[in-house]
Amino acid sequence: MPSSNSLANNMLANNVSAARCLGFTALARRLRAALFGVAAVLAVSSQASAATSACPASKPRHLELPATWAALASGRPITIVAFGSSSTEGAGATTPAHAYPARLQAILRAAWPKVPVTVLNRGLGGQTTDAMLARLDTDVLAAHPTLVIWQDGANAALRGMEPARFAALLSEGVRRVVASGADLVLMDNQVAPRLEQTAHHATFIAMVAHEAAARRVPLFSRAALMREWHAADPAANDMIGADGLHHTDRGYECLAEALGRAILAPVSPAIMTAQGKRD
């Protein structure tokens, strides 16, 4: 596995080289300044993990986020809305500062010290997709987000929502977020005993993945991530708390770390080309 420094250097070289090849000197300078912060985020993640124990290994992930990358390259403020239910709100965490949105904000601010980054926690425990859609305009779109991370599906499974209704509501929400011009990442369910015992649990995970593919928006699969954690370290049984459903502080920390790495992964040349032409 490459070291933190080599990973940061490779990310920096890939992005700056691509920008120069396209003739975008100013963009290259901005990317160089921004991406030097990647080494800092890796250090912050290591320090946070050391307070408990290191996060289990997981596969590298890459999220295609053109609006976010454009804001970063131009130095504009980045607003991320974490939208969802209790595992976004932070149920099971010892304090709100240990919920994944707060931890993600700390990681990104360390990585991008010259760019204002705000992660708004818009999770409300117990909500299903219909209740989330009712507050989408006021709680999410009114903030004019650069990026929306929408976690959904667990309560639909727990409360026995009709799968077809869930799919229709999710699709409507995705349509509205995408139409706003914000990047969107869909996040599926956690792997937790109470969910594993619920009928059709896997169906809702599959529906979130299907919607992401159909709308061509990134999927951050929490279910896949947690299975990778278990494969890497079968003894890592402290990601879900005693209630059998919600993350612990360590679970939220490792979720934020994996998500942060995916956001910070090198942007593809295709996105840089498209963004350069637009600018």
Q: Please report, for the chain, the start and end positions of each structural domain, with discontinuous segments joined by +.
A: 4-278
pLDDT score for 266: 64
Instruction: Indicate the residue type of 216.
Output: R
CA-nearest of 50, 122, 55, 56 to 85 is 122
pLDDT score for 235: 83
Q: How many whole angstroms separate alpha carbon 146 and alpha carbon 152?
A: 19
Percent of the chain with pLDDT over 70: 76
pLDDT score for 265: 85
Q: Each residue of 118-171: pLDDT tens digit?
A: 999 999 999 999 999 999 999 999 999 999 999 999 999 999 999 999 999 999
Contact 16, 38 (CB under 8 A): no
Q: How many whole angstroms separate alpha carbon 64 and alpha carbon 267?
A: 7
Q: How far is CA 6 from CA 14, 31, 227, in A?
A: 12, 17, 27
Alpha-carbon dihedral sign for residues 184, 190, 195, 200: positive
pLDDT score for 181: 97
CB atoms within 10 A of CB 197: 10
To the question of domain 4-278 being in CATH 3.40.50.720, the answer is no
Specify the 3-state DSSP secondary structure of 118: strand
10-residue stretch averages of pLDDT, the chain, 279 residues long: 45 42 43 43 40 79 94 93 96 96 97 94 96 98 98 94 96 98 97 89 95 97 95 90 94 96 70 45
